[in-house]
Amino acid sequence: MKKILLFLVLLGLYNGYSQSHSHSGAKPMTYPDIEGYNTLKTDLHMHTVFSDGNVWPTIRVQEALRENLDAISLTEHLEYQPHKEDIPHPDRNRSFDLALAEAKEHDLLIVRGSEITRSAPVGHNNAIFISDANKLLIERPENTFAEANKQGAFVFWNHPAWHRQRPQGNPVWSDFQIERAKKGELHGIEVINTTDYSEESLALALEHNLTIMGTSDIHGLVDWSYTEKGNHRPITLVFAKDKSLEGLKEALFAGRTVAVYNSLLVGRPEYLKPLLKASIRVNSASYIEKTQVLKVEIENISSSDLLFENEMPYTFYSSSPVFEVAAGQTKTLQIKTLEPLKNIDLQLKALGAYTAPKEHPIIEWKLSTD
């Protein structure tokens, strides 16, 4: 009997704990698919003790599973090995191997990658989908890029706006990048790294046709850096033909991405607009009795809080023209259509989303009223 009581108390304590701390655990992320593509949630830039991170590779896999990611890459610095006295790292593929073994029972893709680490103007660059990290240990960065590309790598420029390397906090497109881009050896660029979104990096992505990336660049724990502050880690949504390494790689080379950090979404309009459109589900649209005020209930099925501004010729009843639909929540709009309409285009500008510096997409949903 005592044992049962103790068990119940423990159970009660456990329940009480989990309820009163409902915001402290990592929540799985969810984003809808868009037409023709699976939406893969990826974090393709992170570190472990095998470079300057503070955790074993298995932890990165477990963190990714807690947030429901589809793919990760452990991109250890090739040239920066501060733990090498304690953890010698003669085989630079070791971190990948350990993560791969941990992910074996799970539906998580592990991409082999490395961070090519130099001072400006080369800066830091991730080469992912490589076949052997050891072969990238080459002195001249030009040759490292050439070898990574020989291995079929997708290469992206990391934190080009990093103030430690660029004191103005802005990227500089130098001769090194000009040369790599000309040779087709540079394919992507981070516009979001950790908590930094760089409009200037987005401008470079659009000007030089580079894939738009967002990454956590996590060194410590995702929980401590993001989750317990009420955030998700930055990710890249990749629109792939299927959930496989080949599908992911093809989509990255084709530039089908949106970088996401909480309520901030950055991407080319051809992918960002369908993503936002699919993220809002219209649950109902009907007139308030004896009025020409249309009540529309919308639901945000994504993990980003979405901020919108009314772009219709009609104004709202009882609401600011700027409003938020929190992740997973519903919102009822009351639209003054002046006369009863059978069909209406709901048009909203997504204020937290960018298709270019200072440019927000306008999303349209075709509604039929009851």
Residues forming the site for Zn ion (CB under 5 A): 124, 158, 217
Q: Tell me the two tokens of residue 134.
A: 């050891």
Task: Give the nearest residue (CB) to Zn ion.
Answer: 124
Q: Quote the least distance from Cβ 255 to Zn ion, whole Å.
A: 22
Q: Quote the least distance from Cβ 223 to Zn ion, whole Å.
A: 19
Q: Quote the least distance from Cβ 204 to Zn ion, whole Å.
A: 17
Q: Quote the least distance from Cβ 217 to Zn ion, whole Å.
A: 4
Q: Which is nearer to Zn ion, 218 or 344 (by Cβ)? A: 218
Q: Which is nearer to Zn ion, 70 or 217 (by Cβ)? A: 217
Q: Tell me the two tokens of residue 133.
A: 């990290």
Is residue 294 a contact partner of residue 337, using CB atoms and an 8 Å limit?
yes
Q: Quote the least distance from Cβ 118 to Zn ion, whole Å.
A: 10
Q: Which is nearer to Zn ion, 43 or 217 (by Cβ)? A: 217
Give whole-number Cα distances, 193 to 54, 136, 210, 316, in Å.
18, 23, 16, 37
Q: Which is nearer to Zn ion, 71 or 276 (by Cβ)? A: 71
CB-CB neighbours of 145 under 10 Å: 24
Rounded CA gap, 289 and 87, in Å?
71
Q: Quote the least distance from Cβ 196 to Zn ion, whole Å.
A: 12
Q: Which is nearer to Zn ion, 77 or 232 (by Cβ)? A: 77
Q: Tell me the two tokens of residue 59.
A: 């932890």
Q: Quote the least distance from Cβ 115 to Zn ion, whole Å.
A: 5
Rounded CA gap, 82 and 80, in Å?
6
Half-sphere exposure of 7 (CA within 13 A, CB side): 4
**CA 236 to the chain's CA centroid:** 3
Q: Quote the least distance from Cβ 201 to Zn ion, whole Å.
A: 14
Q: Quote the least distance from Cβ 225 to Zn ion, whole Å.
A: 13
Q: Which is nearer to Zn ion, 112 or 124 (by Cβ)? A: 124
Rounded CA gap, 86 and 366, in Å?
61
Q: Which is nearer to Zn ion, 124 or 166 (by Cβ)? A: 124
Q: Which is nearer to Zn ion, 114 or 279 (by Cβ)? A: 114
**CA 235 to the chain's CA centroid:** 2
Q: Let me know how many helices (H) and strands (E) the chain has, helices first.
A: 9, 20
Q: Which residues contact 64 (CB under 8 A, 6 or more apart)?
A: 43, 72, 108
Q: Which is nearer to Zn ion, 158 or 300 (by Cβ)? A: 158
Q: Quote the least distance from Cβ 111 to Zn ion, whole Å.
A: 15
Rounded CA gap, 116 and 126, in Å?
6
Is residue 216 a contact partner of residue 222, using CB atoms and an 8 Å limit?
yes
Q: Which residue has the tokens 């452990």?
A: 74
Half-sphere exposure of 184 (CA within 13 A, CB side): 4
The one-letter amino acid code at 318 reads S
Phi, psi of 270 (to 5 degrees): -65, -20
Rounded CA gap, 280 and 369, in Å?
17
Q: Which is nearer to Zn ion, 63 or 303 (by Cβ)? A: 63
User: What percent of the residues of the chain are helix, what percent strand, and what percent coil, each to the nearest 5?
Assistant: 25, 30, 40
